């Protein structure tokens, strides 16, 4: 019994946290919509497209889906012209805003197609609650509006998950074609065109570990029992 009790204590002390992960597939041939809604393992996500120049308020754009991934479409003329069916930084900085119904870590992303260059910027909303509307925000005021840069990533390869190593968890994340207003790396702009094909997120699931004082008391009790056993 004494050995069994020690094993139980070791298990309690060692079992502290685990993570639930989600893989989000943004590759689809369903066409164009104002937003995408998805659910994986009880986690809900809503994705919208946004675009704007550096100093004007952003406006919402459409999300276009293809087999190679999802892009941002500014208007119907752009859709019909068969150009800029991508998330790009040509003329305006395009981005996808992903809002979850619970806090997650955005661990990595993938693109399924790119043209010219494929540099990407990532940010997390660290204000109160979540963010679903960027219409009153411009890129030059973005980082003073509750958003925190999570870095820029150069030459992202097709169909390979790019690790982010985020510093926070959040309900709202933003992925953009390279945007110097998010993380200025001195790279060129106007030449990054890509389609976002996937996301990987995770949630920390923690299990309450007994208080140190309670563990110490339990150990003392076991030691007492062990002493009595030796004296019998």
For residue 27, the domain's CATH number is 2.60.120
**pLDDT tens per residue, range 107-125:** 999 999 999 999 999 999 9
Residues 76 and 136 in one domain: yes
Q: What pLDDT, in 10s, does the model give residues 46-65? A: 999 999 999 999 999 999 99
Which whole-number Å values give the CA distances from 80 to 13, 84, 148, in the listed order? 61, 10, 35
Task: Answer yes or no: do 66 and 149 share one domain.
Answer: yes
For 17-41, what is the mean pLDDT?
88
Mean pLDDT (the chain, rounded): 85
31 vs 125: CA distance, rounded Å? 28
Tens of pLDDT along 151-176? 999 999 999 999 999 999 999 999 99
Query: What pLDDT is attached to residue 218?
Result: 46
Residues 9 and 70 in one domain: no
pLDDT at 24: 98
Tell me what the mean pLDDT of segment 58-82 comes to. Answer: 81
Residue 32: its pLDDT value, please? 85
The Cα 144–Cα 136 span in angstroms is 13
Kindly tell me if the per-residue pLDDT of 192 is higher than 70.
yes
110 and 215 within one domain: no
Provide mean pLDDT across the span 75-88: 66
Rounded to an integer, what distance in angstroms lies between the CA atom of residue 135 and that of residue 201? 26
Alpha helices in 48-175 (DSSP H): 76-80
Is 42:102 a contact under the CB 8 Å cutoff? no
Specify whether the CB–CB gap between 64 and 71 falls below 8 A: yes
Are 215 and 146 contained in the same domain? no
């Amino acid at each position: 019994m004494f050995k069994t009790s020690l094993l139980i204590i070791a298990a309690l002390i060692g079992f502290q946290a685990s993570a639930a992960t989600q893989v989000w597939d943004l590759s689809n041939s369903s066409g164009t919509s104002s937003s995408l809604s998805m659910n994986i393992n009880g986690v809900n996500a809503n994705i919208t497209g946004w675009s704007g120049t550096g100093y004007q308020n952003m406006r919402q754009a459409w999300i276009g889906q293809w087999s190679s991934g999802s892009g941002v479409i500014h208007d119907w003329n752009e859709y019909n012209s068969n150009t800029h069916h991508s998330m790009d930084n040509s003329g305006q900085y395009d981005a996808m805003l992903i809002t979850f119904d619970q806090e997650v870590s955005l661990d990595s992303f993938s693109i399924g197609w790119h043209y010219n260059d494929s540099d990407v910027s990532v940010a997390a909303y660290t204000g109160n609650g979540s963010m679903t509307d960027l219409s009153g925000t411009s890129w030059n005021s973005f980082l003073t509006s509750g958003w925190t840069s999570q870095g820029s990533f150069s030459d992202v390869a097709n169909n390979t998950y790019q690790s982010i190593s985020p510093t926070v968890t959040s309900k709202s994340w933003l992925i953009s074609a390279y945007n110097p207003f998010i993380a200025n790396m001195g790279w060129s702009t106007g030449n990054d065109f890509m389609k976002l094909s996937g996301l990987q997120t995770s949630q920390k699931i923690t299990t309450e570990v007994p208080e140190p004082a309670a563990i110490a008391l339990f150990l003392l009790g076991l030691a007492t029992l062990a002493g009595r056993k030796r004296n019998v």
